[in-house]
């Protein structure tokens, strides 16, 4: 499937949601969750709502899924929290969003970054989302690493059209600022990992 999100580490990973097959009917929005132990994948608890192009954060035992899209419907505000075995409903995003990125160490400390049509960002405290400073350059499908108090976002694409970016912005808990580090290749849809100071961007 494609358009899924992940959380966790190389030996305790989590993959969830996504879209199965090419666009178009019949709808194949996935609610699948799979857990990785460093060598193999096993089934985890299914999400309450299948979707794709969502945001994700946290670990295998404390993960967060938020936003996304349900084909052929509209963008979503729904948030779900994972405890290592099952998903439960969390606080809804302040606005519906798709093709966003996310980061954070747990389902009580997460950051939602960007949206297909804006640079809106929000923080999650385990109960509710709060809109915070928007990106200096609005974009979507970038990579993000860090927490609600210290994060970076990198790459992505502007909307409308597809103008790939190589820029990086840093977040201090309230505002975003331009970071001098730029990616070697401007791109979107890359995947990402770990912390603000030890990030990894691959593919895209």
* 28-39 confidence digits (pLDDT tens): 899 999 999 999
Rounded to an integer, the average pLDDT of 129-138 is 94
What would the DSSP string read from start to end of 55-117? EEEEETTEEEEE--B-TTS-BB--EEEE-SS-EEE-PPPSS-B-S-EEEEEETTEEEEEEETT
Predicted model pTM: 0.89
CA dihedral 29, 31, 32, 34 (to 10 degrees): 130
φ, ψ at 189 (rounded to 5°): 75, 10
CA angle 166, 172, 178 (to 5 degrees): 30
pLDDT tens by residue, 80-100? 999 999 999 999 999 999 999
- In terms of C-beta density within 10 A (0-12 exposed, 13-18 middle, 19 or more buried), how is residue 80 classed? buried
pLDDT top residue among 40 and 22: 40
């Amino acid at each position: 499937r494609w358009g899924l999100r992940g959380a966790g580490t190389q030996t305790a990973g989590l993959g969830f949601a996504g879209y199965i097959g090419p666009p178009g009917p019949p709808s194949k929005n996935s609610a699948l969750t799979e857990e990785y132990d460093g060598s193999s994948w096993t089934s985890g608890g299914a999400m309450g709502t299948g979707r794709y192009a969502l945001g994700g954060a946290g670990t295998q035992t404390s993960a967060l899924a938020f936003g996304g899209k349900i084909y052929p419907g509209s963008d979503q505000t729904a948030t779900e929290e994972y405890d290592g075995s099952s998903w439960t409903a969390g606080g809804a995003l302040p606005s519906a969003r798709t093709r966003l990125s996310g980061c954070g160490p747990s389902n009580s400390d997460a950051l939602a970054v960007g949206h297909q049509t804006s640079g809106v960002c929000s923080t999650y405290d385990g109960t509710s989302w709060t809109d915070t400073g928007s990106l200096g350059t609005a974009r979507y499908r970038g990579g993000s690493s860090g927490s609600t108090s210290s994060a970076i976002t990198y790459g992505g694409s502007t909307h409308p059209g597809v103008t790939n970016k190589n820029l990086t912005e840093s977040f201090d808990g309230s505002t975003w600022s331009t970071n001098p580090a730029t990616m070697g290749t401007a791109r979107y849809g890359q995947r990402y990992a770990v912390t603000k100071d030890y990030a990894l961007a691959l593919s895209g």
